[in-house]
Amino acid sequence: MHADRATRATRLIVHLENLRYNIEAARKIIGSRARICFSVKANAYGHGAVSISRCAVEAGVDYLGVATVSEGMELRDAGISIPILLFSQALPEEVPDIIMGELTPFISDGDFIEIMEREAERLNKNLEVHLKIDTGMNRNGCHPEEAAFLAKKITSFKRLILSGVATQLSVADSTEPEDLAYTKEQLNKFREAIESIKNAGIDPGVTHAANSGALVFHENSCFDMLRLGIFLYGYSPSNNILTKPVMEFRSKVVSIITVKKGEAVSYGRTWIADENTLVGIIPVGYGDGLPRLLSNNHTVSIGGKAYPIVGTICMDQCMVNLGSRTTVQRWDDVIIFGPGSISAEDIAKKLKTISYEITSGISKRVPRVYK
């Protein structure tokens, strides 16, 4: 194992063997029909972008996906050479880095197409781009009826290369009848847009729409490539498809104190002992990514046994009730979530959010240890 930074009591164990397992699980679903673009934005959903990307490239993913230019450049600086899609709209002043870093941006309007062409011409470089079509997400993308016009505009320029066409599915992870119908409608609009580009005599390149939800629930959504994120990190939208969580959030018991009956623990006196008890101090808090909303609302695992967090979670520490008698010892490992224990999805449900927010919220000050 190796660590990105000096190891501290609180750390992430990143199980690369589970990532490889999940990539293989996706391959078994799609076979050889489509390529995989692996989303490694937001520091690979908190897992560590460079190390995760290197493992994924070795495991055979075809593209990587990022949200910002700086994320893409970090991967290029690390020597990663496979295609990198830039999902979000960049600023004009970021275009030189896009071109020199050979990132492949999503573009969806004529003005930015022209900005890209001018800068590529100035730098004497060609640039591959993917046309983004909005089929119902109402975020980024051109209207489907504009697709052929914009594709023709891109291909009319000297420096721009149309290498793909994409859309974003907004409710592909839902099995509600109205959401299934909405996704089907989005896919139909996307097919029509692709056909309009082909009818204009233009090769659309790599076509892609499916995300993790579509992989599981919409077999006809694969096209030429899937953009997968949370599925590969170990959280499948379906209980019928087994994936393995890649992230394990751990810490240690660094101190054990005695709290008398009637005494309070932590800020705000939100928990008061109803008997004399032992309390373990754990050096992890909301500054590390342990949500403060889990105060008095979460258990951790120590030696295979669950212990409740008591009192308000602090920026750097939290406390757990070990009971009046305990076998827990100072320096014992503490599992906050991870494989074989409570999952990030379990925490997300408790907080009425999604597992993405839990994993990507782990602070960069927490060392990532790759196993």
Domain boundaries, given as residue ranges, for the chain: 16-228, 247-370
Whether 181 has a pLDDT exceeding 80, the answer reads yes
Q: End-to-end CA distance of the chain, in Å?
A: 5
Q: Which residues pair with 166 in a beta bridge?
A: 132, 208
Q: How far apart are CA 313 and CA 293, in angstroms?
A: 8
Domain 247-370 has CATH 3.40.50.720: no
CA distance 294 to 310: 9
Name the residues annotated as catalytic: 41, 267
Which band of pLDDT confidence, cut at 50, 70 and 90, is reported for residue 128?
Answer: very high
Better-predicted residue by pLDDT, 327 or 239 = 327
Residue 3 has pLDDT above 80, yes or no: no
Q: Summarize pLDDT for 299-312 with one digit per residue, the tens.
A: 999 999 999 999 99
Sort residue 214 into left (φ over 0), alpha (ψ -120 to 50) or beta. Answer: alpha
Residue 125 token pair: 């470089």
Segment 151-172 mean pLDDT: 97
The C-alpha atoms of residue 182 and residue 201 are separated, in whole angstroms, by: 29
Task: Tell me what pLDDT residue 2 has.
Answer: 52
The alpha carbon dihedral of 121, 123, 129, 134 has a sign of negative
Question: What does the pLDDT read at residue 239?
Answer: 74
Q: Which fold has domain 16-228?
A: TIM Barrel (3.20.20)
Give me the helix-helix angle, 147-156 and 177-199, nearest 10°. Answer: 40
**Each residue's pLDDT tens digit, 6-46:** 579 999 999 999 999 999 999 999 987 789 999 999 999 99
CB 30 within 8 A of CB 215: yes
What is the percentage of the chain residues whose pLDDT exceeds 90?
A: 94
> What is residue 32's predicted lDDT score, i.e. its pLDDT?
78
| pLDDT given at position 194 | 98
| Residues 270-294, mean pLDDT to the nearest whole number | 98
Closest CA to 86 of 102, 96, 169, 77: 102
Measuring CA to CA, how many Å separate 275 from each of 259, 260, 261? Answer: 8, 6, 4
